[in-house]
A and B are shown apart, each in its own frame.
Chain A
């Protein structure tokens, strides 16, 4: 795997392959010495044009557990804030000798531009680009669902027939996009629920079903409820919904809705959560919540991705 830019590019077999390598990485994390020498001598740069502490430290932990050297580059306060272009930044990283660049960028497509350019030869891993994709989040979500369903017997399994309901700000969510492409190619049935203002135009062409009523979706039954953060920072022009109270009442996972979920239904959230808006504290902290598992699994999945981008095929993993 030269780059990881999008879950849309992944075939079903490739996706299962990555999740299986992540299982191997998860095994490493349960050992007394949670470190592999695999990427010794390789340099991974975390190139973050947007703040995201949780994603950055997850990638950092993943790289370090594979013994790679890690350079964290935050655009804030750097030459980028003084006007340096993506091209110049990339060429600087190439000169430093980066083998992989983990890029978080506010512009959709920036990782793809970097990968297609001749500015740098490194493998490019998309750590979230604008409102486009966040492929490692999609992978860790799929990994988490698979582990909850199959436990230690997860290897080789798909998500055939699993019903996933994604609720909230689909329009601005790179997490939703990555999950839609990945979960459906793994065989899951994905249902999206949101006010019409927060659904992208053309969603009828997506491989999903769409509704506006959260209660109807709960009544229909679902194995997973994935709540999305309301991205107020992307709603500067306003008018997406009247106010937080109305949104919370119609599309929030409040205590009453949690009580109506099937006992086995898991509740997911990519974080950070707006408690009391899209999710209640009881829902977030309940045993059905996978929020902390998602964080832990994120390290395993990112180890797998770094390993595959930097070391090649699965068979080389010792």
Chain B
């Protein structure tokens, strides 16, 4: 039995009001006054229909760190945030540096059924920065890996980075670089600047990010490869990427929702929820990142969802882990930081959170937009809603959100993945229901 859905009165990102009919995992009709016998009806009056969101940068922690997050719980967090696909970073234990591990992660995601989980393969064995991983085996595995990253660590060896960029061309892959010059950031605890000097916390200078990006775009140009820069955080990084794009270098870049909103001033609280890598920067950097996103220098928004158990954050700053959860709050934070102030519109949001992330990751069947024949991957979002963001809004295991207790705009009302809902009325659909729907879709017609 397949799910037929009738969505009535949705507003597309371009402002068009329409109905949608979903059959066999695809959008079968788009128009007004539609009907579908026996269909489950979703009243989308006042809701914006966005193409299913795709995250290029998620930490799901499984295998190895299941006390932080599992593929299932991370998938739930993604669905409640409006995502239908996520790329899972490789810093698991064991590291995702072999075909076996990436196939395990992909399989766990498929079984959970909330989102498509596409693993990212490590660039180097054990993220040790010494020797290339089995990039080819991962690319040719059932997981079809196309993004390779040592995220959490920088591929700092220039020759190894060059080899990785050359090697992934074989599979039309991309290296996603965590740009952090290691010597310049030894012991770093926060952005280097006035605040770090006052607080007595070791600084993480902007140049440590910018220098690696400059090196890597030149390497990418030299070998004619694709390079993707993870989580840009400084105004200088935006400038380097802008310069590289003007030269025709094949570089793409991402920014996180939290770097679009939060500044280093929050570190004065020593509240470890604000400890993240790269660190929160100055207000000037936040404004430059927003501008870079608006003018297309920055291609996409990615969450860098990084769940940690409470004991990793409920402690002194220097002992705390770096990272914050982001899937559940992403759309609201993006709305607050770049939509409500008019810098971007919902068409732009549909772009930076769906089609290019899927394209960078070579993830077929995603980012195709809302059109007849496209896979039914979409999100219904109430941008006029407002809520105090609290732990009830967190569907993953992580509680390390800097946005808790803040009033945020917007709310994901429904998420549809492979033609079946994973979220309805703002509530997650039960695991067994989603899992069964995923199994049917896998045996059905969804491409």
Report A's interface with B, CB cutoff 8 A. Answer: 8, 85-87, 105-110, 112-113, 116, 129-133, 174, 177, 200-203, 205-206, 237
Determine if B319 is an interface residue (Cβ-Cβ < 8 Å).
yes
| CB-based contact B196/A109 at 8 Å | no
User: Given A108-B318, A113-B316, A177–B200 Cβ distance below 8 Å?
Assistant: yes
Q: Which of B310-344 contact A (CB under 8 A)?
A: 311, 314-319
Interface Cβ pair total, 8 Å cutoff: 79
Report B's interface with A, CB cutoff 8 A. Answer: 186-187, 189, 192-201, 203, 205, 269-272, 311, 314-319
| CB-based contact A107/B316 at 8 Å | yes
| CB-based contact B316/A109 at 8 Å | yes
| CB-based contact B201/A108 at 8 Å | yes
In the assembled complex, the CB of A47 is this many whole angstroms from the nearest CB of chain B, namely 12
| CB-based contact A109/B201 at 8 Å | yes
For A131, list chain B residues within 8 Å (CB).
Answer: 200-201
| CB-based contact B192/A107 at 8 Å | no
Q: Which of B187, B269, B316, B318 has the most CB of A within 10 A?
A: B316
| CB-based contact A85/B197 at 8 Å | no
* Docked pose: A9 CA to B247 CA in angstroms: 50
In the assembled complex, the CB of A235 is this many whole angstroms from the nearest CB of chain B, namely 11
Q: Which of A108, A130, A132 has the most CB of B within 10 A?
A: A108
- A-B contacts, 22 of them at CB < 8 A, read A8-B198, A85-B314, A86-B315, A87-B311, A105-B316, A107-B317, A108-B317, A109-B318, A112-B269, A113-B315, A131-B200, A132-B201, A133-B200, A177-B200, A200-B197, A200-B198, A201-B194, A201-B197, A202-B193, A202-B198, A205-B197, A206-B197
| CB-based contact B199/A132 at 8 Å | yes
| CB-based contact A177/B316 at 8 Å | no
For B189, list chain A residues within 8 Å (CB).
Answer: 108
User: Given A107-B319, A108-B317, A202-B195, A130–B200 Cβ distance below 8 Å?
Assistant: yes
For A203, list chain B residues within 8 Å (CB).
Answer: 197
| CB-based contact B193/A108 at 8 Å | no
For A206, list chain B residues within 8 Å (CB).
Answer: 197-198
| CB-based contact A86/B198 at 8 Å | no
Q: Which of B186, B271, B317 has the most CB of A within 10 A?
A: B317
For A110, list chain B residues within 8 Å (CB).
Answer: 270, 316-317
In the assembled complex, the CB of A31 is this many whole angstroms from the nearest CB of chain B, namely 38
* Docked pose: A112 CA to B269 CA in angstroms: 8
| CB-based contact A201/B196 at 8 Å | yes
For B311, list chain A residues within 8 Å (CB).
Answer: 85, 87
| CB-based contact B192/A201 at 8 Å | yes
Whose C-beta in chain B lies nearest to the C-beta of A108?
B200
* Docked pose: A206 CA to B199 CA in angstroms: 12
Query: Which 9 pairs from chain A and chain B are nearest by CB?
Result: A200-B197, A109-B270, A202-B194, A132-B200, A131-B200, A107-B316, A107-B318, A110-B316, A108-B200
* Docked pose: A241 CA to B113 CA in angstroms: 58
For A8, list chain B residues within 8 Å (CB).
Answer: 198
In the assembled complex, the CB of A276 is this many whole angstroms from the nearest CB of chain B, namely 27
| CB-based contact A200/B319 at 8 Å | no
| CB-based contact B194/A205 at 8 Å | yes
* Docked pose: A200 CA to B198 CA in angstroms: 8
For A108, list chain B residues within 8 Å (CB).
Answer: 189, 199-201, 270, 317-318
For B205, list chain A residues within 8 Å (CB).
Answer: 201
* Docked pose: A205 CA to B317 CA in angstroms: 24
In the assembled complex, the CB of A75 is this many whole angstroms from the nearest CB of chain B, namely 12
* Docked pose: A139 CA to B236 CA in angstroms: 41
* Docked pose: A133 CA to B314 CA in angstroms: 22
| CB-based contact A201/B186 at 8 Å | no
For A112, list chain B residues within 8 Å (CB).
Answer: 269-270
| CB-based contact B270/A201 at 8 Å | no
Whose C-beta in chain B lies nearest to the C-beta of A109?
B270
For B272, list chain A residues within 8 Å (CB).
Answer: 113
In the assembled complex, the CB of B214 is this many whole angstroms from the nearest CB of chain A, namely 21
Q: Which of B200, B201, B269, B311 has the most CB of A within 10 A?
A: B200
